[in-house]
Structure 1
Amino acid sequence: MKKKVISRFTMILFVIGLMTAIQFNTVNEPDSRDTRDVWEIRQELAREKQLHSELLSEIGTLDETLSKYEKAANDSPEQVLKETVEVLRQDAGLTEITGPGLEVHIEPSQEAIVTGQNIEQISPALLIRFVNEINRFKGIELSIDGKRVINTSPIRDINGRTAINGKPIGTPPFKMKIAAGTLDNAEKLSNHLKASPILDNFYIDNLSVNVMEPQEEITVEGYDGELELEYLEAAEEE
Structure 2
Amino acid sequence: MLSVQYKSIQEPVVRDTRDIWELRTDLKEQQQIQIDLLEQIRKYEQIVESYKQEQADSAEATLRDTLDELKKQAGLTEVTGPGVILTIEPLFELDLAGHSTYQLSPQLLIRTINELNSYGAEHISINDHRVINTTVIRDINGTTKIDGYNLNRFPITIQIIADDAEKLYNRIHASTLKDDFAIDSLNLSVTRPEQMVVVPAYEDTIRVKHMEPLNLEKEGNT
Task: Give the secondary structure class of the aligned counterpart of 1:135.
Answer: helix
The structure whose Rg is larger is 2
8 Å contact from structure 2 (residues 82, 161) kept in 1: yes
Counterpart position of 1:59: none
Q: Equivalent of 1:113, from 64, 80, 93?
A: 93
8 Å contact from structure 1 (residues 107, 172) kept in 2: yes
Do the aligned partners of residues 225 and 236 (structure 1) sit closer, same or farther apart at CA in structure 2, a change above 3 Å counting? Answer: farther
Please say if 1:137 is aligned against 2:119.
yes
Between the aligned partners of 1:178 and 1:170, the Cα distance in structure 2 is 21
**Unpaired segments ≥5 residues, structure 1:** 1-69
Structure 1 residues 22-79: Cα deviation after superposition (integer angstroms, max 9, x where no partner)? xxxxxxxxxxxxxxxxxxxxxxxxxxxxxxxxxxxxxxxxxxxxxxxx9964345333
Name the stretch that deviates more: 152-161 or 93-102.
152-161
8 Å contact from structure 1 (residues 104, 212) kept in 2: yes
Between the aligned partners of 2:53 and 2:66, the Cα distance in structure 1 is 14
Do the aligned partners of residues 71 and 233 (structure 1) sit closer, same or farther apart at CA in structure 2, a change above 3 Å counting? Answer: farther
Between the aligned partners of 2:179 and 2:119, the Cα distance in structure 1 is 21
Please say if 1:155 is aligned against 2:134.
no
Please say if 1:191 is aligned against 2:170.
yes
8 Å contact from structure 1 (residues 120, 171) kept in 2: no
Structure 1 residues 170-200: Cα deviation after superposition (integer angstroms, max 9, x where no partner)? 422121100112xxx2111111112212321
Do the aligned partners of residues 224 and 72 (structure 1) sit closer, same or farther apart at CA in structure 2, a change above 3 Å counting? Answer: farther
Task: Give the secondary structure class of the aligned counterpart of 2:64.
Answer: helix
- TM-score of the superposition, structure 2-length normalised? 0.65
Number of residue-to-residue matches in the alignment: 164
Please say if 1:229 is aligned against 2:211.
no
- TM-score of the superposition, structure 1-length normalised? 0.61
Identity across aligned pairs (percent)? 40
RMSD: 2.9
Q: Equivalent of 1:100, from 61, 77, 82?
A: 82
Amino acid of the residue matched to residue 228 of structure 1? R
Do the aligned partners of residues 236 and 118 (structure 1) sit closer, same or farther apart at CA in structure 2, a change above 3 Å counting? Answer: same
**Unpaired segments ≥5 residues, structure 2:** 1-51, 218-222
Do the aligned partners of residues 71 and 89 (structure 1) sit closer, same or farther apart at CA in structure 2, a change above 3 Å counting? Answer: farther
Task: Give the secondary structure class of the aligned counterpart of 1:113.
Answer: coil
Structure 1 residues 103-126: Cα deviation after superposition (integer angstroms, max 9, x where no partner)? 0111121xx229xx9442200011
